[in-house]
Structure 1
Amino acid sequence: MVWLCFLVDQRRKVRRSKPAAGTCSRCGGGASVADMMTQTRFCCVPFHYKCWKAIICTFCGATLKSYT
């Protein structure tokens, strides 16, 4: 019997951010507009990058709205 195990993970990183008007609906913290980068890796080798903008909470880190 052969078992195949694939290790795939995805990391999300904030490249830069700036303050935005508004508050988080979950915790009441401040909001910021951030340039995000998602990196998908297969066995520790990155094979897909995606860059996008999002409005995130500065206190809890929740994504409030995303733009592609």
Structure 2
Amino acid sequence: MVCFCFLVDQRHMLMSSKPAAGTCLRCRSGASVGLMKTVTRFCYVPIYWKSWKAIICTFCGAVLKSYR
């Protein structure tokens, strides 16, 4: 018997943020330091998550720099 399990999705969520000095290079808006969380789910069951910090744009949401 063979059972296949496929990767369903991987999501990046913003848990908290604080204002930071600097601007976004794409839209010239403000930046903030955020605590990010990555959740990987296999067959709709979350099996792995990782927290990391990133500098993100407050307007367009682009990740300018990540600290993994």
TM-score normalised over the length of structure 2? 0.89
Using the TM superposition, give the Cα deviation of residue 5 of structure 1 relative to its aligned residue in structure 2, in angstroms. Answer: 6.8
- Matches of 2:49 and 2:39, distance apart in 1: 5
Kindly provide the amino acid, as one letter, of the partner of residue 30 in structure 1: G
Distance in 2, matches of 1:38 and 1:50, equals 5
Where does structure 1 differ by over 4 angstroms across 4 or more consecutive aligned residues?
none
CA RMSD of aligned residues (A): 1.5
Q: Distance in 1 between matches of 2:45 and 2:5?
A: 15
Q: How many aligned positions are there?
A: 66
- In 1, Cα distance between equivalents of 2:5 and 2:41: 14
SS in 2 for 1:27: coil
What's the TM-score, normalizing by structure 1? 0.89
CA–CA distance in structure 2, aligned partners of residues 14 and 54 of structure 1: 9
Corresponding residue for residue 50 of structure 2: 50
- C-alpha deviation, 1:8, in angstroms: 2.0
Whole-angstrom CA distance in 2 between matches of 1:6 and 1:53:
28
What secondary structure is seen at the aligned counterpart in 2 of 1:25? coil
Structure 1 residue 34 displacement after superposition? 0.2
Name stretches of at least 5 consecutive residues in structure 1 with no aligned partner. Answer: none
Q: SS in structure 2 opposite 1:26?
A: coil
